[in-house]
Amino acid sequence: MDSAQGWFIWSKIVVLGVISVVLPLITPRQYTPLEPEDPSRLNLEERASIFSLATFTWLDPTIYLANRVPHLATQELPPLADYNRVKSLVKESYPTLDVFSGAKKRHLFWGILRVFRKPRRISFSRAISDKDRVGTDYYQVVAMLVLHVLAGLANPLGVNQLLRYIETGGTSSDIRPWFWVLWLLLCTMMDGMALQWHNYIASRMVVKSEAILTQLIYDHALRIRMKADASGTVEDAEPALPLGVVVGSGEPSGDTGAECLTQTEPTNSSESQPHKEKPSSINIVGRLNNLVTTDIQSITAGRDWLLPVLYIPLQVILSITFLYWILGWSAFVGLAALLAMFPVPGFLASKLSSTQAGKMKAADARIQTTTETVSVIRMIKLFGWERKMSKKISEKRAKEIRWVLRGKIFETIIDELNFIIPFAVMLATFGTYTFIMKQSLNASIVFSSITVLSILQEQIHLMLGITPAIIKAKVSLDRIGDFLRNTELLDEFEKKESDHNSSAIDSSDIGFRDATFTWSATTEGAEAPSRQFRLRVDGEVLFKQGQINLVVGPTGCGKTSLLMALLGEMHFIPSMPDSCFNLPRDGGVAFAAQESWVLNETIKAFPFFVFYQTLLTL
């Protein structure tokens, strides 16, 4: 019936192929902005066809423009796609990662995994709607890795069948050689396309993860108490007695405002409150700087965690299966040799993990000291403390370098195992096949098995090479997760069973009533005496609005702490049932920090030197 139609049947096949395959591949997709009320500039990627996405031809206009001009300005680059903007990424990821946005308390890794497991707005179909979302990132990565494995093992299969056909003269196979030549060509092309698409999706996830984590860390930094460290640094700590107490007028001041603030004698808490302690190992400023730089870079470097989880095991299983098909049970001897030597890299990997954690803690301490030194560099120069501070920073750096040296030693040993283990596996496999099984090696067996053994060797190199990066990424994820979960928060972000009664003071008044404040909710002992400071306001103290209010007292009595407590930077401890403090924020709040004269002007501008210079000019 079909043969009777002749060329007409082939015409229908061509038309059907164009309509069903070619047109969907080259037709631009319909674009629907994520925020129709505030649409952004269109990025060509958002409307690119499937063929254009696969071949990146949507970037051709930008490449042609860059070829014609000596310098391509930032404004001439394609605009950022709306689904790649930080605002969209935060809106999509915070419900999964940020506990203050409703996320569950889980490890940060599982949260990121859930973010990129969600369907994306971009689709391979022409129309895009809320109900039409396909192509999740991690599903695509997994599919491309599996395709990469299958296409990679298809090459030795083609080599084996082609050489066997040549050896037997075609008597053992009905498949012609041209089929295996075409097989090798198509499998190589498919292998390359799968690998490149995997790299594209993985790189996009890395950039998004970096933006999300950076924003998450900065947002959480605004919630933490800057005087606070992570919990768990003191054992059996008990509340310290107040070192300084600020007392208001005994009677409620009402409209008269604050009458006076006085100070009581400090009490030596180290004598009256002996307790077991250990110094804090957390440096909040240095740690924060490290989190948004080194740790995020370590996380992005460990982006290929799916390789040892999925790609390498699947590649090894299929490779051993192929070797068993052509070499018999000698393939299992090679597998046994591989498994026997594999605990050694595992042991070294665990040591490298602990070394990386120690190195990051030492780096936190160094950055903390350097940041504090730079912030008061004028004061250091004034008092001649350059050598002292330089020695302090050098000691921190020397401790960090010792950890770096230890880590490099472990990495070098792991690199050497990259060459020892594959050679031992190949020697065990071929030695068993020839000396024990008494089999001969022909061309079809040798070339195909060498190809598969080369694939196994690449997997071992990949496993041992990527392990340090994944370990560093895991350590960095743990550090960021610990920062998000265990740092002490401001009182307004802490979940309490009963908050202080802010209604005890009129909502429009500014002041305190029988309030006690500390810099931290936990006491850290004599190593950090500033953490033991307690600010106590007895009675009611109200500030007059629209007027100048003076807070006077000797140095260290708590004048600045009073303002910090009013702003909510200190930990509130109710001392009475009606204890409270209030600062209306409806109209906004501004705080101008005091500045020392040493930092305010140069030493030459000090009034004494100005007067001395005036005398010289007379």
Please give the helix or strand (H or E) that residue 517 lies within, else none.
strand 510-518
State residue 349's pLDDT score: 77
Residue 277 lies in a domain: no
Name the residue with tokens 């305190």. Answer: 512
Q: Are residues 445 and 529 in the same domain?
A: no
Q: Are residues 260 and 308 in the same domain?
A: no
For 448-473, write each residue's pLDDT tens digit: 877 887 787 778 778 877 888 888 88
* Spatial distance between the Cα atoms of 476 and 208, rounded to a whole number of angstroms: 17
Q: Is pLDDT of 219 > 80?
A: yes
Q: Pick from 213-227, 264-278, 394-408, 596-610 the range whose average pLDDT is largest.
A: 394-408
Higher pLDDT: 509 or 613? It is 509
Q: Are residues 444 and 369 in the same domain?
A: yes
For residue 263, list its beta bridge partners: 246
Residue 189 lies in a domain: yes
Q: Are residues 365 and 513 in the same domain?
A: no
State residue 568's pLDDT score: 81
Q: Are residues 577 and 501 in the same domain?
A: yes
- Token code pair at residue 276: 């077991």
Q: Are residues 519 and 581 in the same domain?
A: yes
Q: Pick from 314-318, 339-343, 439-443, 505-509 the range whose average pLDDT is largest.
A: 314-318
Q: Give the domain-ending residue among 452, 467, 486.
A: 486
- Token code pair at residue 139: 């599903």
Q: Is pLDDT of 326 > 70?
A: yes
Q: How confident is the model at residue 522 (pLDDT cuts 50, 70, 90)?
A: low
Q: What percent of the chain has pLDDT over 90?
A: 5
Residue 50 lies in a domain: no
Q: How confident is the model at residue 595 (pLDDT cuts 50, 70, 90)?
A: low
Q: Are residues 384 and 343 in the same domain?
A: yes
Q: How confident is the model at residue 100 (pLDDT cuts 50, 70, 90)?
A: confident
Q: Are residues 429 and 365 in the same domain?
A: yes
Provide the residue range defining the domain that includes 505: 246-270+494-587
DSSP-assigned states of every residue in 402-469: HHHHHHHHHHHHHHHHHHHHHHHHHHHHHHIIIIIS-----HHHHHHHHHHHHHHHHHHHHHHHHHHH
Q: Which residues, 6 or more positions from 328, have their beta carbon under 8 angstroms from its beta carbon?
A: 433, 437, 439
Q: Is pLDDT of 249 > 70?
A: no
Collapsed DSSP state (helix, strand, coil) of residue 515: strand
For 127-144, write each residue's pLDDT tens digit: 333 333 333 788 888 999
Residue 611 lies in a domain: no
Q: How confident is the model at residue 5 (pLDDT cuts 50, 70, 90)?
A: low
Q: Which residues, 6 or more positions from 154, have their beta carbon under 8 angstroms from its beta carbon?
A: 183, 187
For 387-434, write each residue's pLDDT tens digit: 988 999 999 999 999 999 998 898 888 878 877 877 888 788 878 888
For 343-387, write each residue's pLDDT tens digit: 787 788 778 878 888 888 888 888 888 888 888 888 888 888 889
Name the residue with tokens 């001392």. Answer: 575
State residue 498's pLDDT score: 45
For 8-34, write each residue's pLDDT tens digit: 788 888 898 889 888 988 888 888 777
Residue 76 lies in a domain: no
* Spatial distance between the Cα atoms of 585 and 510, rounded to a whole number of angstroms: 10
Residue 102 lies in a domain: no
State residue 244's pLDDT score: 38
Residue 200 lies in a domain: yes
State residue 215's pLDDT score: 92
Contact 159, 455 (CB under 8 A): no
Q: How many domains does the chain have?
A: 2
Q: Give the domain-ending residue among 453, 486, 519.
A: 486
Of 508, 502, 515, 503, give the one whose Cα is nearest residue 541.
Answer: 515
pTM for the full predicted model: 0.67
* Spatial distance between the Cα atoms of 132 and 122, rounded to a whole number of angstroms: 9
- Token code pair at residue 436: 């024990």
Q: Is pLDDT of 153 > 80?
A: yes
Q: How confident is the model at residue 2 (pLDDT cuts 50, 70, 90)?
A: low
Contact 243, 589 (CB under 8 A): no
Q: Are residues 419 and 358 in the same domain?
A: yes
State residue 267's pLDDT score: 39
CATH number for the domain that contains residue 415: 1.20.1560.10
Q: What is the mean pLDDT of residues 48-68?
A: 88
Residue 523 lies in a domain: yes
Q: Are residues 259 and 298 in the same domain?
A: no
For 254-283, write each residue's pLDDT tens digit: 443 333 343 434 434 334 344 444 444 456
Q: Give the domain-ending residue among 486, 503, 519.
A: 486
Higher pLDDT: 532 or 362? It is 362
What does the buried/exposed string (b/e) look like for 128-167 if buried means 16 or more CB atoms within 10 Å of the residue's CB? Answer: beeeeeeeebbebbbebbebbbbbbbbbbbbbbbbbbbee
Sign of the C-alpha dihedral, residues 331, 336, 341, 346? positive
Q: How confident is the model at residue 577 (pLDDT cuts 50, 70, 90)?
A: confident
Name the residue with tokens 């002996």. Answer: 274
**Mean pLDDT over the full length of the chain:** 76
Q: Are residues 427 and 334 in the same domain?
A: yes
Q: Is pLDDT of 225 > 70?
A: yes
State residue 255's pLDDT score: 40
Q: 597 exposed, middle or buried (CB, 10 Å; 0-12, 13-18, 19+)?
A: exposed
Q: Are residues 440 and 552 in the same domain?
A: no
- Token code pair at residue 313: 């095991």
